[in-house]
Amino acid sequence: MHSYEECLKSKRYEAENYHIIELESNKIECATLVQRHGDRYVVVNPPEPPMSTEEIDASFDLPYMRLPHPKYKRRGAIPAFEMIRWSVNTHRGCFGGCSFCTISAHQGKQIASRSEESILHEVEAITSDPEFHGVLTDLGGPSANMWRMGGKNKELCRRCSRYSCSMPLLCPNLDSDHRPMIDLLRKVASHPKVKHLYVGSGIRCDLFQEGVKGSEKGEKRSERTSVSDGNNAGWEYFKEVVVNHTSGRLKVAPEHSSPHVLALMRKPSFELFRETKRRFTEICKQAGLRYQLIPYFISSHPSCRMEDMAQLAVDLKQMGYRLEQIQDFTPTPMTLSTEMYYTGIDPSTMKPVYVATTPEAKADQRRMFFFYKPELKGQIIQSLRRAGVEKYVAKLYGENNNNTGKQSFKRKM
């Protein structure tokens, strides 16, 4: 790869290096990576092959205490431990390929699934704990619904280097059957000591589509996400989770509504979220449930401009959402999004990418999530005018909003 010194001088070289790293990390059989650093070399050896079910079972079935180290007793409750104490991990790895996520980098793209026996054995151990009160908070992994998924033809997987098995379309070689997970949920929920079983891990709704054979070349990005029922029981799994394994709020992560932002995020079309919300509402109505579907969104992601955030705000308003918890993009190591944030280049195409990097630009984008707050209205109108997208003022606040918002802006400052 390009040397460390070359990358310091050229962000293009840095982006080219990242592309090599990601391409190799997507493979089952990776090449050894070598980079010169001064008069020495950094050598990155290929990772171990994905764990087999027998190997991952052997790891999870060890006689763990399931408690923090005794040295932490004097420090009080540990929030991270309390969050996962009554949860069960079903698998490792993620083939989603999201640009802002590092899971595939440190757990791998291939799924290593535990056996049903190993999972049920852990459930038995948890329910035997005298402090267990009948509620399992999660049954999942990096993503809730990837357990036992993988390539039908393993030889094809060995030759594959695509960043995701689900984007832009489900790979036709992927076994995405959700029936085993439905059976597992029902078996765990039927345990005599389990009163409630919730799914707390994120659900990948793009896995509810079916793989499409043939070339993806020439397809428009807006056409690359199917929301049909298919035959993998994805929407059946979704109904099972909503009706029986949701505590009142189900979280999903559409991340944005802009097609070109979603493309660089490596996330499916916003139409999939609309379909998910429609089905969620229908399921709740039929079951007599007053549950909420909570979406996660990100502002200031590379390629996202004020116009994209304004359109997202309009989409949220039309769908009746008033978000309280949101995320502004934060650079994190080992991700494609961070590489684009630093270099201003998409390593996959080597084309330039717009990035909001200043505190002011990021604050303007983040503020769009709260279009419904009266105290922010003036600032939002001003930021839309500065960005040259004043047309969204009427879409958000109506035609009679020609005020500059200066008083609100000054008061907030």
Predicted local distance difference test score (pLDDT) of residue 210: 57
Task: Specify whether the CB–CB gap between 309 and 371 falls below 8 A.
Answer: no
Report the pLDDT averaged over residues 27-54: 95
Give the integer Cα–Cα distance in Å for 230 and 237.
Answer: 13
Least confidently predicted of 26-35, 44-53, 257-266, 402-411: 402-411
- Give one word for 97, left, alpha or beta, with left for phi > 0 and alpha for psi -120 to 50: left
**Cβ neighbours for 99, distance < 8 A, ≥ 6 positions apart:** 264, 265, 266, 301, 335, 336, 337, 340
Give the per-residue pLDDT at 219.
Answer: 40
pLDDT number for residue 400: 67
Task: Return the closest-CA partner of residue 88 out of 49, 125, 40, 52.
Answer: 125
Instruction: Compare 322 and 216 and report the one with higher pLDDT.
Output: 322
Average pLDDT over residues 301-320: 98
| pLDDT value at 178 more than 80 | yes
Mean pLDDT of 313-330: 94
Confidence label for 405 from pLDDT (cuts 50, 70 and 90): very low
Stronger pLDDT, 219 or 345, i.e. the higher one: 345
- Tell me which of 73-82, 115-124, 200-209, 401-410 is least confident: 401-410
pLDDT one-digit tens code per residue, 109-145: 999 999 999 999 999 999 999 999 999 999 999 999 9
Would the pTM of this model clear 0.75, i.e. be above it?
yes
Taking residue 252's Cβ as centre, other Cβ atoms within 10 Å add up to 19
At residue 230, the pLDDT reads: 57
Of these ranges, 162-176, 215-229, 298-312, the one predicted with the greatest mean pLDDT is: 298-312
Least confident range from 136-145, 201-210, 340-349: namely 201-210
Q: Which domains are seen in the chain, by residue range?
A: 1-49 (no CATH), 51-356 (3.80.30.20)
Task: At 61, give phi and psi (nearest 5°).
Answer: -85, 0
User: Please, what sign has the CA dihedral across residues 7, 9, 15, 16?
Assistant: negative
Predicted pLDDT of residue 407: 32
